[in-house]
Structure 1
Amino acid sequence: MALKVELKPNERIIIGQVVIRNDEQRTRFFIEGEAPILREKDILTAASADSPAKKIYFAIQLMYLTQDTTHQHEIYFQLVRDFLQAAPSSLAYMTEINNTILSGELYKALKAAKKLIAYEAELIANATRV
């Protein structure tokens, strides 16, 4: 079954390791076959990965795009160790992320990492209130 994708004007999408940018008009196309796909709203750049949780997301994103869980392996686990040391309360989030990576579901790991980013923002907001 083909995946239907609609792109807004000038929106970007990554298919495999290729970035595609739409022109000035809304576009619809169908993707047949298997390839890692990320819409612009789900893409983090190295520059925009400006927090520990976002760096974890970025490492998972690179794993997903290369379809290789060993890619970024050492960096990922160092980031996770550092995050857990700073915020032990994040263990449930990390467990979910790790389990999805171990089961080969890297897109689901990205979704779980988005929850970690939201949790990190919550922790920072609570810390600044005190």
Structure 2
Amino acid sequence: MALKVELKPNERIIIGSVVIRNDEQRTRFFIEGEAPILREKDILTAASADTPAKKIYLAIQLMYLAGDPTEQHEVYFQLVRDFLQAAPSALPHMSEINNCILSGELYKALKAAKKLISYEAELLEHAKRV
């Protein structure tokens, strides 16, 4: 079964290791086969990974897009250790992410990492108020 993707004008998408940018009109196409796919709204760049949780997301994103996800494991696990040392209350989020990674469900790990980014924002907001 093919995946139907609709792109807004000038929207980008990554399919495998290729970045595709849409033209000036809305476009619909179908992807048949297996490849990592990320829409522009889900893509994080090194420049925009400006918090510890976003750096974890970026490491997972690189695992997802890479041919060999183990290349990012050392970086990922160091980021996780540092994050948990600073915010031990994030352990349930990290456990969910790690379970997804260990079961090979890297796209689900990205979704779980988005929850971690939201949790981090809550922690930072709470710290500002106190």
Give the TM-score of the pair, scaled to structure 1: 0.99
The one-character-per-residue Cα deviations of 1:83-130 (angstroms, maximum 9, x if unpaired) are 000000000000000000000000000000000000000000000001
Q: State the Cα distance separating 1:67 from its structure 2 match.
A: 4.3
Identity of aligned residues (%): 86
Paired position in structure 2 for 1:69: 69
Paired position in structure 1 for 2:89: 89
Distance 2:31 2:96 in 1: 29
Aligned to 1:72, the other structure's residue is in SS state: helix
Q: State the Cα distance separating 1:71 from its structure 2 match.
A: 1.9
Q: Structure 1, unaligned stretches of length 5 or more?
A: none
CA RMSD of aligned residues (A): 0.6
Paired position in structure 2 for 1:127: 127
Please give the residue correspondences for 1:1-130 in structure 2 after superposition, counting only pairs within 5 Å.
1-130=1-130
The one-character-per-residue Cα deviations of 1:9-28 (angstroms, maximum 9, x if unpaired) are 00000000100000000000
Q: Structure 2, unaligned stretches of length 5 or more?
A: none
Equivalenced residue count is 130
Runs of 4+ in 1 over 2 A off after TM superposition: none
Counterpart of 2:20, as a letter, is I
Counterpart of 1:15, as a letter, is I
Give the TM-score of the pair, scaled to structure 2: 0.99
Q: Please say if residues 9 and 24 of structure 1, whose CA atoms lie closer than 8 Å, have aligned partners that are also in contact.
A: yes
